[in-house]
Structure 1
Amino acid sequence: MENPCTDMLTVSHIRKSVRELSLPRIAVTCVPTVSAPVQVMSGGPLPELTKDDLEQLLQAKVDSFAVSRLTAPGENYGSTMLKVDVTLLPDRRKVFAVAKMVSEFPHMREFFHYRETVPKEIYVYVHVRPEFQTIQKEYRVPERLFLDVIPKCYGARTTLGGGIDEPVDESSVILLENLRVSGYRLVDRIVGMDLKHLEYAVIHLARFHSTAIVLKLKKPGVFKETVMKATAFVRGGPPPGDEGTPGPLALLKSLSHLPVFQQYKDKIKAAMDMDDELMQMEEPPKAREPFATFLHNDFWTNNMMFSYGGINDEEITGVKIFDFQMTLYGSPITDLLFLLYSSRTLDVTKEDCDRLIKLYHKEFIKWLELFGCDTEPFSYENFLKEIEMEASKCFSHAFIMLRISSVPESNAPDLSIKSDADKIFRDNTGLGKTYFMKVEKLIKEFVDRQWI
């Protein structure tokens, strides 16, 4: 599995600190280390992933293992991703995994509020995923429809030698299944997702959101203890004392040559200002019922992988979603519109997006009906009203992500240099004509729809 490219600004969409979040302890067998303990100091080097670490995480004896870097420059900003192949004893069973660790650069760790976001992501894999599967089994969801979009987690820790209920430090690890070994692969982030991939993603996004609502309606206690804890509010923006990156201003300046930008610059600036106001909120925005649900909150091309089958491997047979650092409880429109307007190929039209929005709602209702839920409050009329109330908030996120997803590997910033982080926003080097055409389409469609 390759990791998503977690953008540096969409962390503003997760709001308040969850330092006080209490995570239940899970059983973790800690294998004593034979080496001296590693003291993890804030701002110091990250510890290596050792045999003892893997035995703790996998709760099994390790015969041998190999670790290598997973992602290329420009593919990941918020964490360190390692490819981990392990042979276990006594049967020499192979485990192919991906270790997600915090960024090796101290300023990037702080920018991404890792002490708050790491526990949220662990909670999704350890608690939300099992509950999503359990309720489907209880309602006997057919195997052909069964929603299994969250990858398996082999083990996790928030601190060296601990479980998942200790305060987070730089030695935190999430050990996930390597999806690439199972045949999953990423769509090219620069090209984007064609209509076939968007349709598949939209259907499964609808089921994902709807499953959380099913839990809310059928098992409110479980919903409170799983989904709501996984979506705990984290205040966005740079950490205290950090002025952050001038990225948004640099981005606006870099696009000033586009006629469409000049024509609608006041509307664009107003939408960006709205996002900045949301980032500054000390409390989470009030989620509207009944549509409020479990949001991925960063649902774009690089945070999902697809599997294929059929003739020439052209049929999409599965999708997995990952990188749950920024989860929220809020409107499903946030994920839906962000997907459509940040991740589509250039040939996906406004009319295609209309059809995809209808497809999402159709699948959303079908999934609720499968569990015997009352669907009247979720009518298409009410859904369109939800779009009208939320769409303007989605522009800034998609606008920024179009830039991040279009930066070629050769022009990726040097993350070891703090001041280099906004390079992707101020430097047009390597950006092809397709990027500027996508920006033009985004602006025009949001204006045409009166969303900005």
Structure 2
Amino acid sequence: MVSKETVKSWLSKIFESINFENYEIQIKTNDKDSGYMSSIIFVTVQNGSSSTIDLVIKKSSDVKSIRETVEVRKFFFREIFMYETVFPIFAKLEKGKIVDEKFDSYPKYLSSLILDDTEIILMENLAKSGYKMWNRKINMDMNHCKIVLKAYAKLHSLSFALKDQNRTVYNSVTSNVEDLLKNWISFPSLKDYINGHKDTVLKTLQDHGDSLLSEFYKEELDDIYNVTKRILNINEDQVVFTHDDNWNNNYLFKYKDCCDHPIAVSIIDWQMSSLRSPIFDVSKFLYSVCSKKELDRLEDLLRYYYSCFAEHLTNLGSCPENLFSFSDFQRHWKTFSLFGIIGSTMVMKITLLDEDEAPSINELENGKNFNEVFNVSMSADELYYGRVRDVVSAYFEMTTNPNFLK
């Protein structure tokens, strides 16, 4: 638990040019299921008796083994880069364009602080603006899926528009974007975890008598580690800035009347961002959050995404047909969507764990490796099986349907 004195020292460094006094601090951290590279601290900063600001401090993990295994500092630098460089460039690009809805689906960023063994990002507290975090154990309905897909479509279209309209700035901002995920999975413990995850999915399907799906999954992903590396190493010119951390915990929604109809979404945790095909976001998001009901309408959701993408890119002043046509989208989906199955089923178990079942990163300090800590047993086995079955089945039906997305 971080002390109030430590939090005050961070804020004094960040606010050294602003006369804030009488800090009221509320600390609420969760070392289990809120984030494994970071923890969250809620802070109320009061200046005298009149001005109050509600903030969120995102603090990096100080567990030495996970900082070394995951290279936490690089991931925090990537999130800061997105807030300080990429998003302002995108906002400047949208300025003056005939755009009804600008891309603003991320928290307001205030500042960051880099210490010897700690990284800190200071942001607005979205809850104070009426946003509510999605329940990670519940699948999203069509309304929620569509509003997230629309946000991703706007994000992705901005990369294409920037490359089309200002190649100098695009080259400058993309020239040194390292692929952190590709580097991360090169760690031996991650290889064990990915292979162990594949075995868990196979066993779940086999134990429930799903021989057809288990054989299909084994045929597609028996060599899952090398399949993952192969997909990540495909060279592709049509790339965009992606979010890449597409699971339920990373979406907060704002509502006008009821929880069935969100009017806005804010996407959090941008530390995994990279330059990839848009399909990495689209496929992993849909396979991670949809139930069978929504997966049965997978083609409708994909067409909705592309229509939002094409509309926003057109409004930005660039031509979708020239930069990323629907036929390009189809090709990308065929090439990269398998990663959505890999990524979604890997986070699925963590998503469904009860709080007392969730692994603690502190176990890494006790000699256990990444696979031993995160490949844990769970009580919601039937729910897990149902999620795995629906996702693998949806992918199977898609690949065996010659008319899909034609």
TM-score band by shorter chain is 0.7 to 0.9
Query: How far apart are residue 193 of structure 1 and its match?
Result: 1.2
Query: How far apart are residue 271 of structure 1 and its match?
Result: 4.5
How do residues 154-169 of structure 1 correspond to structure 2 at under 5 angstroms?
154-159=110-115, 169=116
Bigger mean CA deviation after superposition, 401-410 or 324-333: 401-410
Amino acid at match of 2:380: L
Residue 83 in 1 paired to residue 42 in 2?
yes
Residue 105 in 1 paired to residue 63 in 2?
yes
Rounded to whole Å, the distance in 2 between the matches of 1:328 and 1:107 is: 24
1:261-291 CA distance string (max 9 Å, x none) = x44445434544665236668x9735423x3
Q: Secondary structure in 2 aligned to 1:146?
A: coil
Q: 1:53 aligns with which of 10, 16, 22?
A: 10
Rounded to whole Å, the distance in 2 between the matches of 1:383 and 1:244 is: 30
Q: 1:130 maps to which residue?
A: 88
How do residues 4-19 of structure 1 correspond to structure 2 at under 5 angstroms?
none
Query: How far apart are residue 424 of structure 1 and its match?
Result: 4.8
Query: Are the structure 2 counterparts of residues 48 and 278 from structure 1 closer, same or farther at C-alpha, using a change threshold of 3 Å?
Result: farther
Query: Are the structure 2 counterparts of residues 97 and 450 from structure 1 closer, same or farther at C-alpha, using a change threshold of 3 Å?
Result: same
Q: 1:225 maps to which residue?
A: 172
Q: 1:439 aligns with which of 384, 388, 396?
A: 388
Q: Does the 8 Å CA contact 1:97/1:176 hold for their aligned counterparts?
A: yes
**Structure 2, unpaired ranges of 5+:** 401-406
Q: 1:362 aligns with which of 264, 287, 307?
A: 307
Q: 2:339 maps to which residue?
A: 393
Rounded to whole Å, the distance in 2 between the matches of 1:300 and 1:223 is: 28
Residue 300 in 1 paired to residue 250 in 2?
no
Query: How far apart are residue 138 of structure 1 and its match?
Result: 2.8
Q: 1:95 maps to which residue?
A: 53
1:348-377 CA distance string (max 9 Å, x none) = 232x11100000011111111102212223
Residue 425 in 1 paired to residue 382 in 2?
no
Q: Does the 8 Å CA contact 1:120/1:325 hold for their aligned counterparts?
A: yes
Query: Are the structure 2 counterparts of residues 72 and 117 from structure 1 closer, same or farther at C-alpha, using a change threshold of 3 Å?
Result: closer
Residue 177 in 1 paired to residue 124 in 2?
yes
Query: How far apart are residue 139 of structure 1 and its match?
Result: 1.6
Query: How far apart are residue 246 of structure 1 and its match?
Result: 3.9
1:21-57 CA distance string (max 9 Å, x none) = xxxxxxxxxxxxxxxxxxxxxxxx9996332321322
Amino acid at match of 1:404: I
Q: 2:256 maps to which residue?
A: 309
Q: Secondary structure in 2 aligned to 1:138?
A: coil
Q: 1:150 maps to which residue?
A: 106
Query: Are the structure 2 counterparts of residues 288 and 47 from structure 1 closer, same or farther at C-alpha, using a change threshold of 3 Å?
Result: farther
Q: 1:416 maps to which residue?
A: 362
Q: Does the 8 Å CA contact 2:161/2:317 hold for their aligned counterparts?
A: no
Query: How far apart are residue 228 of structure 1 and its match?
Result: 5.1
Query: How far apart are residue 153 of structure 1 and its match?
Result: 1.2
Q: 1:288 aligns with which of 233, 236, 249?
A: 236
Q: Secondary structure in 1 aligned to 2:39?
A: strand
Amino acid at match of 2:357: N
1:387-413 CA distance string (max 9 Å, x none) = 111122332111112222111212111
Amino acid at match of 1:436: Y
Q: Which structure's residues are more often helix, by fraction? A: 2
Q: 2:277 maps to which residue?
A: 331
Q: 2:352 aligns with which of 406, 422, 443?
A: 406
Query: How far apart are residue 340 of structure 1 and its match?
Result: 0.6
Give the TM-score, by structure 1 length: 0.78
Q: Does the 8 Å CA contact 2:97/2:317 hold for their aligned counterparts?
A: no
Q: Does the 8 Å CA contact 1:132/1:211 hold for their aligned counterparts?
A: yes
1:169-209 CA distance string (max 9 Å, x none) = 42211111111111111111111211110011111111111
Q: 1:374 maps to which residue?
A: 319
Query: Are the structure 2 counterparts of residues 287 and 306 from structure 1 closer, same or farther at C-alpha, using a change threshold of 3 Å?
Result: farther
Give the TM-score, by structure 2 length: 0.86
Q: 2:403 maps to which residue?
A: none
Q: Does the 8 Å CA contact 1:72/1:409 hold for their aligned counterparts?
A: no
Rounded to whole Å, the distance in 1 between the matches of 2:146 and 2:388 is: 22
Q: Does the 8 Å CA contact 1:247/1:426 hold for their aligned counterparts?
A: no
Rounded to whole Å, the distance in 1 between the matches of 2:339 and 2:232 is: 14
Query: How far apart are residue 141 of structure 1 and its match?
Result: 2.4
Q: Secondary structure in 2 aligned to 1:288?
A: coil
Amino acid at match of 2:236: R
Amino acid at match of 2:134: V
Amino acid at match of 1:433: E
Q: Does the 8 Å CA contact 1:228/1:329 hold for their aligned counterparts?
A: no
Query: How far apart are residue 314 of structure 1 and its match?
Result: 4.3
Q: 1:197 maps to which residue?
A: 144
Bigger mean CA deviation after superposition, 268-277 or 181-190: 268-277
Query: Are the structure 2 counterparts of residues 212 and 426 from structure 1 closer, same or farther at C-alpha, using a change threshold of 3 Å?
Result: same
Q: Does the 8 Å CA contact 1:304/1:321 hold for their aligned counterparts?
A: yes
Rounded to whole Å, the distance in 2 between the matches of 1:46 and 1:85 is: 15
Q: Secondary structure in 2 aligned to 1:215?
A: helix
